[in-house]
Each structure stands twice: as C-alpha cells, then as structure tokens.
C-alpha cells in the first residue's frame, strides 16, 4: 500500500517550521524594522476558520491569464524579452498534489521595471507587458504559464542593493492556514546570494527550494526555455493518535 | 502509529513586496481588462443576513500608516458555515481597509464549544516576511468573547482587546472598526496557526 493512502486528510496541519521561513525581523531587509511584530506569535491549533479556505472554479480564468507574453498586448505585439515557460507542481508536505488551487504570479518586465504607480526605476516600461497572471492547478497539481524572464533591478535598501530576477507567487491551497506568498528565483543566478530578501531566509537549502531549475526536456524548440518550480504547501497530519477509543 | 516526518518542506515565504498590487489587485495598476473585477473585490458572498461594514487601518511600529498592504478576510456565514465569504482589498493611502459583509455566526472551536463570532484576517506587505494571521471579534458579543477559547489563550487581557472591533451604527447599518498595529504599544495579537 502506498504511504500516502495511510494518511487521512482530516488531521491537523503540520506546524509551520518557522526556522525554515524567514524571521519577521531581518535587519538586512530594512523594511522589516518597523513592520515585524515583536511579540511572539500566539500558537493556535487550527479550527474550521483556518482549516477551510476559499476555492475558485475554472470560470474565473480568462484565456490569456497564463500567457504574460500576450495578455497585456496593446497593439497585437508580444512582450519584449527572453521567452520562458514556467511550470511546476503544487504539492503538500506529504508529497500529494494540491489540485484545483489558484496560483497567482506577478513580475517585472525584461528590463526590471514593474508596471506600478509607485515604481520609479528608470528602465523603460514595455507597452505590451502587464506582468500579472494566474492559473488553477490540474488534477495532478500542475500549473504552467508563459512569460518573459524578468530583469534584475536596483532598489532602495542598502546603498546599492539589487534584486535578482524573480517572479512573485501567491498560492491558496485548501485551507486558509496554507495561504502562502513567495518568490521564485532562477537557477545559477549569483545575485540570489547577495539579495537581502532571499537572505532573509537563514537556511541555504530553503533558498534553494525557491530556485527554479532549467528544464531542457520541456523547452519549446525554437521558442522558449522552460523552468520548473514546484511549490509545497503545508500538509495535514495523520489523526491516528487522537483519543479515539474505537481505534482508527 | 506515529506521524511520519513529512517528506517535503513547506516552501519558505517571501515578502509580497511593494508591487503586490500587480498580482492581487491588478485593476489598481490598470492591468485588468475594463470588465474584469479583481478577485475578492466588492461585497463578500456571505449569504443571508444584515450587511455590516468591517474597517480599520494598519500602522507600523512608528504609528505611521502602512499604505501598501493587502488584506484578505475569510469568515463563516451567519449560520457558522464557511463557504464563499472571502474578500481581498488593498489598503488606501491612509492604511485603511474596508469590507462589506455579514456578521458571521458561531463556529466550533478546539474545545468543542462554539467560538465567539469572528473573521480571520491575513495581511501581506513590503517588510512582512511571512503573511500575518489575526482575527477580528465583535465588541457587541461581550458574553461570547469572554468565553472564547482563542481570546482566552491570550494571557494579558489588554492584548485581547487588540482583536475586538468597536461597533458604531449609522442609517441602520453596523460598522465594526479595528486598527491593526504591526508593532509597538498595543501591537495586535498575531497567530501561528
């Protein structure tokens, strides 16, 4: 019998490993200084308020939502930049696919410029690039989208800090306690290891988990490179040791 | 049988950053099509019941408004069932958020007894490395609040008050107001759930 079939889905969630996540206050990333709670988080066994969460049907998805090369085209032209496909599987900590869950993504353009009213970087906007998309995972937990590789960009933190190329991800899962926002980096980028935001994560292996792998097998010939980025959401424990006199 | 160590680690969180609106409230940045409304915007699909307003402002440790946050709200309907009542808003330039919803009913808590009515809030922004979970309770539920399992986990009764929204009423509609303080005196209670 497969291991996964032994684990019922109705248990509590595994506790979040706070040593794997960034701490709230990470001084290298200055914006955390006034925004990090100083009190300890209050541990709370999840209730129905956290073990349930919003679900979204395929009806919310527009045809070009997973094609950032074309979904903001103003004049029929495609976005400028290196064409890539980003895909991966959303799994829980028990390595089971998370099906039918919404994945949202946003990013800077190829020059490292965001389409945002508070963005002041001098790199040019691409009139045909918005930088926003979404997808719902399939029955095996996979999502995919087409985009251009975002550029690195400088940001006001230290005197000369640069963000490595990255794509932001928002994932829902099936429980509000699984809600996650993270960022995807690109394999082999030396700038990851100079980035105060990536390095807000203390464990190098945890940063590696956010690094998408170049996947030559899924490259679209004469079109786009492929990067694989799997996302892991919290999983649920076995309930076998709850006090049930009748056993499990 | 004991729980096995799960084979995978949860993906570590990263800040939503200052440009979170591109992804979560794209119409604010002119990215959505004209007929596409942002996910979670507008009145919550919260079922039957009198409509209420939930509002508040978010402040940092220097008491300055956090003007770039996105807040999500998840709650039960008036009968205490979680179904579709989810909303998402970007705060405005004053750090203010607002939801149009119904007052939730009671949901069973960890001790098997009904919890006091509450909504669950989740806050992301630049400078927040891991999204913050908190709850909003209702000041006009004093008896239920006094018996609430979660509120009673908060040892300092003054800190319990950081989760209780004040009620006002105008034109027959109730508004519940709760400010959220990320840090400092009266720091909001946040949960590790």
Q: Which CATH number fits the domain that encloses residue B60? A: 2.60.130.10
Q: Which residues on B lie below 8 Å from A22 (Cβ)?
A: 12-14, 129-130
Q: Is A114 a catalytic residue?
A: yes
Instruction: Give residue A118's domain range.
Output: 64-186+214-234
**Quick one: what percent of chain B has pLDDT higher than 90?**
91
Least Cα separation, residue B3 to chain A (angstroms): 6
Beta bridge partners of B91: none
Half-sphere exposure of B26 (CA within 13 A, CB side): 25
Q: Which CATH number fits the domain that encloses residue A128? A: 2.60.130.10
Instruction: Give residue B92's domain range.
Output: 20-181
Which pLDDT score, from 0 to 100, does residue B92 have? 98
Average pLDDT value over all residues in chain A: 92
- For residue A36, tell me if it sits in a domain: no
Q: Which residues on A lie below 8 Å from B86 (Cβ)?
A: 53-54
Please compute the mean of the pLDDT values over residues B79-83 and round it to a whole number.
Answer: 96
Q: What is the dihedral of CA A142, A116, B45, B105, to 10 degrees?
A: 100
Closest C-alpha among A65, A240, A34 to residue B183:
A34
Q: How confident is the model over A39-57, as pLDDT tens digits?
A: 999 999 889 999 999 999 9
- For residue A167, tell me if it sits in a domain: yes
- For residue B36, tell me if it sits in a domain: yes
- For residue B10, tell me if it sits in a domain: no
Do residue B22 and residue A132 have CB atoms under 8 angstroms apart? yes
Average pLDDT value over all residues in chain B: 95
Do residue A118 and residue B183 have CB atoms under 8 angstroms apart? no
pLDDT grade, residue A244 (50/70/90)? very low
Q: Which of B23, B68, B153 sits opposite A168 (nearest CB)?
A: B23
- For residue A205, tell me if it sits in a domain: no
Which pLDDT score, from 0 to 100, does residue A45 have? 86
Q: Which residues on B lie below 8 Å from A95 (Cβ)?
A: 6-8
Least Cα separation, residue B66 to chain A (angstroms): 9
- For residue B12, tell me if it sits in a domain: no
- For residue B186, tell me if it sits in a domain: no
Which pLDDT score, from 0 to 100, does residue A152 have? 98
Look up the ipTM and state it.
0.96
- For residue B188, tell me if it sits in a domain: no
Do residue B130 and residue A179 have CB atoms under 8 angstroms apart? no
Please compute the mean of the pLDDT values over residues B131-160 and round it to a whole number.
Answer: 97
pLDDT grade, residue A10 (50/70/90)? low
Q: Is A87 a catalytic residue?
A: no
Q: Is A144 a catalytic residue?
A: no
- For residue A191, tell me if it sits in a domain: no
| Residue A5 CA: distances (Å) to CA of A9, A94, A103, B91, B107 | 9, 11, 26, 43, 30
Please compute the mean of the pLDDT values over residues A243-248 and round it to a whole number.
Answer: 42
Do residue A50 and residue B133 have CB atoms under 8 angstroms apart? yes
Closest C-alpha among B139, B148, B151, B124 to residue B178:
B139
- For residue B187, tell me if it sits in a domain: no
- For residue A128, tell me if it sits in a domain: yes
Q: Cβ distance A230 to A213 under 8 Å? A: no
Least Cα separation, residue B114 to chain A (angstroms): 11
Residue A66 has pLDDT above 60, yes or no: yes
- Nearest-angstrom CA–CA distance, A154 and A135: 29
Which pLDDT score, from 0 to 100, does residue A247 have? 40
- SS3 assignment, position B43: coil
Q: How confident is the model over A181-229, as pLDDT tens digits?
A: 999 999 999 999 999 999 999 999 999 999 999 999 999 999 999 999 9
pLDDT grade, residue B81 (50/70/90)? very high
- For residue A150, tell me if it sits in a domain: yes
User: How many domains are there within chain A?
Assistant: 1
Which pLDDT score, from 0 to 100, does residue B32 have? 78
Q: Cβ distance B118 to A48 under 8 Å? A: no
**Quick one: what percent of chain A has pLDDT higher than 70?**
92
User: How many domains are there within chain B?
Assistant: 1
- For residue B5, tell me if it sits in a domain: no
């Amino acid at each position: 019998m497969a291991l996964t079939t032994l684990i019922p889905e109705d248990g509590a969630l595994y506790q979040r490993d706070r040593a794997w996540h960034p701490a709230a206050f990470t001084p290298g990333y200055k914006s955390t200084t006034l925004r990090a709670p100083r009190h300890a988080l209050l541990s709370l066994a999840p209730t129905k308020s956290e073990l349930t969460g919003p679900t979204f049907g395929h009806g919310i998805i527009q045809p070009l939502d997973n094609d950032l090369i074309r979904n903001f085209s103003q004049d029929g032209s495609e976005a400028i930049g290196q064409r890539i496909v980003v895909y991966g599987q959303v799994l829980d900590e028990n390595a089971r696919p998370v099906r039918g869950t919404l994945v949202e993504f946003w990013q800077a353009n190829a020059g490292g410029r965001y389409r945002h009213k508070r963005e002041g970087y001098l790199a040019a906007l691409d009139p045909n690039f918005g930088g926003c998309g979404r997808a719902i995972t399939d029955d095996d937990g996979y999502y995919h989208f087409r985009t251009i590789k975002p550029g690195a960009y400088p940001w006001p933190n230290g005197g000369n800090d640069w963000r490595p190329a990255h794509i932001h991800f928002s994932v829902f899962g099936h429980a509000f306690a699984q809600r996650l926002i993270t960022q995807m980096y690109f394999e082999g980028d030396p700038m990851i290891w100079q980035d105060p935001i990536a390095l807000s994560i203390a464990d190098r292996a945890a940063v590696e988990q956010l690094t998408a792998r170049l996947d030559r097998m899924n490259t679209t010939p004469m079109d786009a490179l492929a990067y694989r980025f799997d996302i892991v959401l919290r999983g649920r424990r076995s309930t076998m040791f709850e006090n049930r006199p009748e056993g499990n | 049988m004991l729980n096995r160590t799960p084979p995978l680690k949860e993906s570590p969180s990263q800040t939503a950053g200052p440009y979170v609106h591109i992804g979560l409230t794209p119409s604010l940045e002119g990215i959505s099509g004209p007929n596409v409304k942002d996910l979670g915007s507008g009145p919550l699909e919260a079922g039957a019941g009198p409509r209420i307003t939930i509002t508040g402002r978010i402040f940092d440790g220097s008491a300055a408004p956090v003007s770039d946050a996105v807040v999500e709200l998840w709650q039960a309907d008036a009968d205490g069932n979680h179904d579709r009542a989810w909303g998402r808003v970007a705060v405005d330039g004053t750090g203010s958020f607002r939801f149009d919803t119904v007052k939730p009913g009671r949901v069973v808590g960890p001790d098997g007894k009904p919890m006091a009515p509450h909504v669950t809030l989740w806050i992301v922004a630049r400078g927040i490395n891991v999204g913050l979970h908190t709850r909003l309770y209702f000041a006009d539920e004093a008896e239920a609040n006094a018996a609430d399992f979660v509120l009673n986990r908060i040892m300092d009764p003054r800190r319990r008050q950081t989760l209780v929204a004040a009620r006002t009423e105008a034109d027959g509609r109730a508004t519940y107001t709760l400010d959220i303080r990320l840090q400092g005196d009266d720091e909001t209670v946040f949960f590790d759930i």
